[in-house]
């Protein structure tokens, strides 16, 4: 989960409104800093279809050897023909390469005899796409820090990051294009009109001065397509009318601040379309013209996909990937809150340690896929058995923890019975009787840290097992 947290941080930096050059370097730096690969290389697809290495991170030698090299449009076709398909990724194992087929820079590292170890000639690629599925670049990674071929979770994180990277690159290209064209707008109103109407991202102008301040003056087709409103519904209306009830006052303060600043203002807002569907809009607002008669040039993009990816990253950082239950990190956070409220109210809670009996036989007899299905089913049963507000977390393997706030001894006994009954029910398609042993420890105003309580509950669980034996 450390990689997920680091990845979330670098993903935020990558999408922070950088230029194209800064975004490309942020992408490769993000792979090295956030995903634990020793080397990352980004080939940007040029208008003629060829690929140019624009950014390299992790190795000065690789950077010197690769940066600026240009390859044919079909450079990756031969490798992808022999590659393993890992979702949106392509992995080319070294053993499939023919004699003399090595292209590019190869790291000088020892070769392991372990078949699952990363080989210097292994290659892992992540194609990068814009929102309309245009191939904008190719990201290649090398030298994972654990020196092994990436597993499913590591691959998923790389794929999520690649999705964000493609969106960030596309957005940076549009931003660079807009900045370049904005210089021409000042020289020609005709050029401004052409760029405004033909821009691929949403654009609008809004009055800033006088009694008409805040009124939308004009919008382009992309603005209408993104928001879902027709031009006649937007032009002449006040921009605040389309914001949530709690946001117009905030917007007025932001506009007042912008009126005294030459720096473009960046924003992200939830926008409700006429259909009721909510999307995330991200963009900039910049002053154009001179006082009086200044206007705001507003640029917007639909950033819902990036927001969804960020939310998914946050979910991965706090939840067990197999069962979807809170993981130890989220359990720690909720325990801290429960302990704080317990100290304020004086009403005790409880921490339960739940261990499964005979579960190893399920994996040995039916295989790990069946074992994973069983764990997901048991996780659902535990979640359904607890009270509203209780937390069920997976600690790892076949061990679970339940955090119960403000619970009486009688209610705790009832809860243990419900949990035991839920787990002890037969599992679908499995004849092995999987049961549970539960140990508890109270949470009081003088309770120590979570690790100590988990250890105490664990010991109580083993005492329960021994007593029953």
Which residues, other chains included, contact 361 with Cβ-Cβ below 8 Å and sequence gap of 6+? 432
Asked whether the predicted pLDDT for residue 90 surpasses 90, the reply is: yes
Give the span between the Cα atoms of 8 and 14, in whole angstroms: 10
Which residues, other chains included, contact 289 with Cβ-Cβ below 8 Å and sequence gap of 6+? 295
Asked whether the predicted pLDDT for residue 431 surpasses 50, the reply is: yes
Predicted TM-score of the model (pTM): 0.45
Share above pLDDT 70 across residues of the chain, in percent, rounded to a whole number: 85
Asked whether the predicted pLDDT for residue 89 surpasses 90, the reply is: yes
Stretch 287-293: mean pLDDT, rounded? 70
pLDDT at 245: 53
Of residues 20 and 54, more confidence is placed in: 54
pLDDT confidence tier of residue 405, bands split at 50, 70 and 90: very high
Reported for 97-100, long-range contacts at CB under 8 A and 24+ positions apart, including other chains, are 97/121
Of residues 104 and 353, more confidence is placed in: 353
The top-scoring range by mean pLDDT among 171-180, 304-313, 324-333 is 324-333
Which residues, other chains included, contact 64 with Cβ-Cβ below 8 Å and sequence gap of 6+? none
pLDDT at 469: 47
Residue 287 · residue 254 · CB < 8 Å: no
- Write the pLDDT tens digit of every residue in 356-393: 999 999 988 999 899 999 999 999 999 999 999 999 99
Residue 123: φ, ψ to 5°: -140, 135
Residue 294 · residue 209 · CB < 8 Å: yes
Residue 292 · residue 300 · CB < 8 Å: no
- The H or E element containing residue 404 is strand 399-404
Averaged pLDDT of the chain: 84
Give the span between the Cα atoms of 268 and 303, in whole angstroms: 8
What DSSP designation does 309 have? H
- Write the pLDDT tens digit of every residue in 217-274: 899 888 998 888 999 999 988 877 776 655 556 666 766 676 666 677 778 888 888 8
- Write the pLDDT tens digit of every residue in 155-214: 888 888 888 888 888 888 777 777 766 655 555 566 566 667 777 788 888 888 777 777
pLDDT at 290: 67
Neighbours of 165 (CB within 10 A): 28
Asked whether the predicted pLDDT for residue 403 surpasses 70, the reply is: yes
pLDDT at 468: 57
pLDDT at 380: 94
Strand duo 51-57 + 70-71: pairing: antiparallel
Domains of the chain, CATH where assigned: 2-174 (3.30.450.40), 188-306 (3.30.450.20), 319-468 (3.30.70.270)
pLDDT at 26: 84
pLDDT confidence tier of residue 445, bands split at 50, 70 and 90: very high
């Amino acid at each position: 989960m450390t990689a997920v947290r680091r990845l979330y941080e670098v993903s935020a930096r990558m999408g922070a409104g950088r230029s194209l050059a800064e975004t490309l370097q942020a992408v490769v730096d993000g792979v090295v800093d956030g995903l634990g690969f020793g080397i990352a290389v980004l080939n940007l697809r040029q208008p003629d279809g060829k690929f140019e290495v624009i950014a390299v991170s992790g190795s000065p030698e690789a950077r010197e050897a690769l940066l600026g090299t240009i390859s044919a449009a079909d450079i990756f076709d031969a490798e992808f023909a022999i590659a393993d398909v890992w979702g949106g990724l392509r992995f080319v194992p070294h053993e499939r390469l023919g004699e003399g087929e090595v292209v590019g820079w190869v790291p000088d590292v020892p070769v392991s005899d372990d078949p699952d170890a990363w080989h210097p000639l292994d290659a892992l690629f992540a194609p990068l796409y814009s929102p309309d599925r245009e191939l904008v670049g190719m990201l290649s990674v090398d030298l994972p820090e654990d020196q092994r071929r990436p597993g499913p979770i590591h691959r998923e994180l790389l794929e999520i990051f690649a999705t964000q990277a493609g969106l960030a690159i596309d957005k940076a290209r549009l931003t660079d294009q807009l900045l370049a064209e904005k210089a021409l707008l000042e020289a020609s109103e005709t050029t401004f009109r052409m760029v405004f109407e033909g821009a691929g991202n949403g654009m609008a102008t809004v009055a800033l001065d006088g009694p008409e301040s805040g009124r939308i003056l004009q919008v382009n087709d992309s603005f209408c397509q993104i928001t879902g409103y027709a031009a006649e519904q937007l032009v002449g209306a006040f921009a605040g009318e389309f914001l949530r009830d709690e946001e117009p006052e905030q917007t007025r303060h932001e506009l007042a601040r912008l009126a005294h600043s030459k720096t473009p203002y960046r924003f992200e807002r939830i926008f409700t379309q006429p259909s009721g569907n909510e999307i995330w809009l991200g963009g900039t607002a910049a002053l154009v013209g001179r006082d009086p008669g200044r206007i705001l040039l507003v640029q917007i993009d639909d950033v819902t996909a990036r927001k969804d990816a960020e939310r998914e990253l946050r979910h991965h950082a706090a939840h067990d990937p197999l069962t979807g239950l809170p993981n130890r990190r989220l359990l720690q956070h909720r325990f801290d809150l429960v302990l704080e409220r317990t100290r304020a109210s004086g009403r005790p809670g409880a921490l339960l340690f739940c261990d499964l009996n005979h579960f190893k036989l399920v994996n040995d007899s039916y295989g790990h896929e069946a074992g994973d299905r069983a764990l997901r089913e048991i996780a659902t049963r535990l979640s359904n058995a607890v009270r509203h507000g209780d937390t069920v977390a997976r600690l790892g393997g076949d061990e679970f923890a339940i955090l119960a706030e403000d619970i009486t001894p009688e209610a705790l006994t009832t809860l243990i019975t419900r949990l035991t009954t839920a787990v002890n029910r037969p599992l679908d398609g499995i004849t092995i009787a999987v049961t549970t042993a539960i140990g508890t420890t109270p949470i009081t105003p003088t309770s120590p840290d979570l690790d100590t309580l988990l250890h105490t509950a664990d010991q109580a669980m083993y005492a329960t097992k021994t007593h029953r034996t």
